[in-house]
Amino acid sequence: MRTAIITGGMSGIGAACATRLSADSVRVITFDLAGGADYSLDVSKADEVDAAVAAAGPVDILINCAGIVGPNKPFWETTTAEWQKTFDVNVNGVFNLCRAVVPGMKERGWGRIVNLASIAGKEGNPNLAAYSASKAAVIGLTKALGKELATSGVLVNAIAPAVIETPMNATNTPEVLEYMVSRIPMGRLGQATEVAALVSWLASDEVSFSTAAVYDISGGRATY
């Protein structure tokens, strides 16, 4: 049985991924600040991540779902602290987890890493500059790491959803949410279970010739 760590595994896309991978007969370990997680930790804290990964044992699959929306305001009103916090969670969290699990995956010659980016990282969303920039960074990290590991048996891919019906997006203002939905040709929010289905495939043996790629799940919004 393979083992997966899912960050942000107690709600939204992370919880849907935990349910789906468990159904795929994968042993799931959740990392989250929310109650009920297997390990309660802040993914932006490298020491906490390293200790939890070591305690969890060999990890075959990493799903980086933990993230925050960050400041929902004009760019020029964004404070340094708000900008830094968004990058600490959305980018440094992915960095910390990947760095902690990659050596073991390389040693065993098999691994799957799926990083949750966003269509905002490709196109940018107004009044979400910090979030958009952080998700663009996740895409760049994924592409670089995937190329570095391309012959190792460890595959690294990203998913770029449009707006998904999750607790995180419930914090957006009605105006921002309306803007994002208006950009989706299907005219609706995506569902976490739909994203989890794509994650399931990317975390499996069925994926063998894809790495450093970004998979859109956007209801038709994505244009490249």
User: Catalytic site residues?
Assistant: 131
Which residue has 């440094």 as its token pair? 92
Other Cβ atoms less than 10 A from the Cβ of 215: the count is 19
| Helix pair angle (46-56, 93-108), 10° resolution | 30
Tell me the two tokens of residue 21. Answer: 């991978």
Tell me the two tokens of residue 101. Answer: 């699990």
For 139-177, the three-class secondary structure string (H helix, E strand, C coil) is HHHHHHHHHHCCCCCEEEEEEEECCECCCCHHHCCHHHH
Continuous segment of H or E residues that includes residue 19 = helix 12-23
Tell me the two tokens of residue 3. Answer: 């083992």
146 within 8 A of 157, measured Cβ to Cβ: yes
Residues composing the chain: 224
4 within 8 A of 21, measured Cβ to Cβ: yes
C-alpha span between 56 and 72 (Å, rounded): 35
At residue 137, the 3 state secondary structure works out as helix
